[in-house]
């Protein structure tokens, strides 16, 4: 049963990443506008100066949009592959099930890079997106997604024993 739960957590995380990517694609203009707003560092009144210049070049903003959505899709794909491998190995010996986790861990790791790295480190710390209401909401959501990825990574990475 524990292995089935681990598989379910991986599947749910895959769906989360996939749904966010598809929502971003379905709302591509709004997605672009949100990223452009953050990168422009508009309305920064609390910390008006920055160590990094504002980014307003359309091509750079579109590149950021593509990297974010592409990374979300990559996380989803890796997690789905991981889910399939784990599900197939769920009744195998512990060594085989442990080996089946690799793609799930890669996918959760990519999710951590997206929601902690892109949003927390670059968006929050570098671009100071916490200074605006829209940026703070995005940062808060990204933290929730990062925690989901990190928890699933930790749970799935826990070693199996023959007792399961």
In Å, how far are 26, 63, 79, 84, 116 from 14, measured between CA atoms? 18, 23, 5, 11, 17
Report DSSP letters for 46-78, one per residue: SS---SS-----HHHHHHHHHHHHHHHHHHHHH
Contacts of 141 (CB under 8 A, 6+ apart): none
pTM: 0.92
55 within 8 A of 32, measured Cβ to Cβ: no
Convert the pLDDT of each residue in 113-158 to its tens digit.
999 999 999 999 999 999 999 899 999 999 999 999 999 999 999 9
């Amino acid at each position: 049963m524990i292995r089935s739960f681990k598989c379910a957590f991986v599947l749910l995380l895959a769906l989360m990443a996939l749904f966010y990517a598809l929502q971003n694609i379905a709302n591509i203009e709004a997605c672009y506008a949100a990223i452009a707003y953050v990168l422009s560092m508009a309305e920064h009144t609390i910390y008006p100066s920055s160590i990094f210049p504002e980014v307003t070049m359309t091509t750079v903003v579109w590149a950021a949009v593509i990297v974010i959505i592409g990374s979300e899709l990559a996380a989803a794909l890796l997690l789905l592959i991981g889910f399939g491998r784990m599900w197939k190995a769920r009744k195998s010996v512990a060594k085989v099930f442990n080996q089946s986790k690799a793609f799930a861990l890669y996918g959760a790791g990519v999710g951590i890079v997206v929601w902690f790295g892109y949003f927390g480190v670059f968006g929050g710390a570098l671009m100071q997106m916490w200074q605006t209401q829209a940026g703070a909401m995005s940062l808060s959501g990204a933290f929730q997604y990062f925690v989901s990825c990190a928890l699933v990574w930790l749970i799935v990475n826990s070693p199996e024993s023959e007792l399961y």
